[in-house]
Amino acid sequence: MKKVSIFNALLVCMIANIGGLNAQKPAYLKLEFDKNQKPYVFYPVGRGDHPAVLAKLFGSQELELRAKNHMNTGQSLAAGTIIQIPISPDKIIKKNLKGSYDDVVPIFYKVKKGETAYRIVKVNLKDDLNNFCERNDLPGCQLKVGADVLVGWIDLRDRKQDVSITTSKEKKNLVKSDPKPVIVKGRNSKNEEPTIFKKVVAEKKTQNHGEIVGNEKKKEDESETEPVEDNVEVWVADKGVAYWQHGHRANTNKYVLHNSAAINSIIELYNPMLRRTVRAKVIGRIPEETYRNDIDVVLSEGAAESLGALDSRFQIEMRYKK
């Protein structure tokens, strides 16, 4: 196996960059996995680095980054320190690059005892095993404990952009995207009714239809001479308790059980703690006497993982079609 011999030299370069506190890219990044096998990297903070920008570059949430580094809301990064940044496998460039690229930084991982290439590459990093073995010149994909393997690269070209510019770009993207229903007000307790609102769609109806506003349903009188209004979809904004069964998380499919959402429709789920959103398919109702009465939605492992769930029960916000 070809061991990455430049690892120690790169470490020296990385420390030198930290000492200078300049805006140069780090020579490399070291990757590790947390107790849930989620990847994160050690990142040397330079002048001008901002948590929101770094979180976006690495495919995580700012709240997630702050929590991992015990940072308070509004606390800025200190140049010269090393922080841990959760990284999405989708943000890792896994195509085997030839030559050097400006602000494209290699990511290395030190193999631990008992680990296999399949576990590291296929399960944890969602990479192609053949590409990984070719990248590291591994005959038979056999790993050696303590070896530093190249798992890919990360593009850091936008790490110094202004936060206000990032926010402006995100707002423009939202304007260009397909319209989505807006949550007016959520449910604050189990005794309250969830807010009902409507989403106008482009399709016209040729027959009379009902319109739901609040908790009342009004039907129009049939009339061929009356103008035809836009069709409306009835959506519900709700809050409640989500539940999922801990397992090996091999199932990445995103689906839920829910007692009110239309079956085979798509429900939007939001984890307010991590500010993560996922869309999942409603495949059925919650079986009676199987779960506790306060459970509002049952999640698949794939949906729970996308929301960053650690506990089997957690608070959630929902938008769904009746």
Delimit the domains of the chain by residue range: 7-166, 195-321
CB atoms within 10 A of CB 57: 20
From 84-88, 212-216, 239-243, 257-261, the region with the lowest mean pLDDT: 212-216
DSSP per-residue codes, 120-163 = IIIIIS---HHHHHHHTT-GGG---TT-EEEEEEEE-TTTTS-H
Percent of the chain with pLDDT over 90: 39
Residue type, 48: G
Per-residue tokens: 73 = 């809301």
Residue type, 295: I
H runs (alpha helix) in the chain: 7-20, 51-57, 62-68, 117, 129-135, 163-176, 301-306
Which residue, 230, 215, 37, is CA-closest to 123? 37
**Predicted structure pTM score:** 0.47
The per-residue pLDDT for range 260-282, each reduced to its tens digit, is: 899 999 999 999 888 899 999 99
In this predicted structure, what is the pLDDT of residue 190? 44
Whether the predicted pLDDT of 21 surpasses 90:
no
The per-residue pLDDT for range 237-263, each reduced to its tens digit, is: 889 999 987 654 556 789 999 998 999
The single-letter DSSP state of residue 55 is H
Is 181:319 a contact under the CB 8 Å cutoff?
yes
Burial 292-309 (b: 16+ CB within 10 A, else e): eeebbbbbbbbbbbbbbb
Helix (H) or strand (E) holding 319: strand 313-321
> For 195-321, CATH number?
2.40.40.10
Which residue, 183, 223, 143, 203, is CA-closest to 316? 183
